[in-house]
Amino acid sequence: MIFLEQHCPCKSMKRYEDCCLPILNDEKPALNCEQLMRSRYTAYCVNNFEYIVNTYSLRARNEQNISVDFIKHQAASTKWLHLNVVNSHETSVEFKAFYQDGRAIYCLHELSYFVQENGKWRYDNGDLLGTTGKLKTGRNEACFCDSGKKFKHCCM
């Protein structure tokens, strides 16, 4: 997949090869749960479903029967637009991820919990927070990502 800009899909403003790419390629570990969370968001952006499955905790994988087909099906009609990390703690990250499904834009506002297995960070579970849901974003309205630009000139 080719990106028009060199920035990482996780919107860190770092270059892709200095951010999530070496983590996705297993050349570097995620040093904290925010890095793992960002790399999982990026994996959704680049359709690397295996990485998403592999970075669930064993408990979550067994209890929820998570497979590549399951993730692929879940992500089929979703186009990821933007990520804001709201708060980052030692074992949890609060974030807002924005995505498009059909013509509607949605916000996924989640507090995610992480565990370490064999020294590697893994996603365990998450709680959906208040502003999760459909957004009313007109083409000429301010973009949801707080850039100050109109939506049509920004994340659309």
What residues line the site for Zn ion (CB under 5 A)? 8, 10, 12, 19-20, 38, 143, 145, 147, 154-155
- By beta-carbon proximity to Zn ion, the closer residue of 49 and 144 is 144
- By beta-carbon proximity to Zn ion, the closer residue of 1 and 76 is 1
Q: Shortest gap between Cβ of 82 and Zn ion (angstroms)? A: 6
- Sign of the CA dihedral with 131 first, then 58, 29, and 115 last: positive
Q: Shortest gap between Cβ of 65 and Zn ion (angstroms)? A: 28
- By beta-carbon proximity to Zn ion, the closer residue of 76 and 103 is 103
The β-bridge partners of 115 are: 122
| Measured CA angle at 110 (ends 84, 73), to 5 deg | 100
Q: Shortest gap between Cβ of 49 and Zn ion (angstroms)? A: 18
Enter the DSSP assignment of 129: -
Decide: 25 and 43 in contact? Cβ < 8 Å.
no
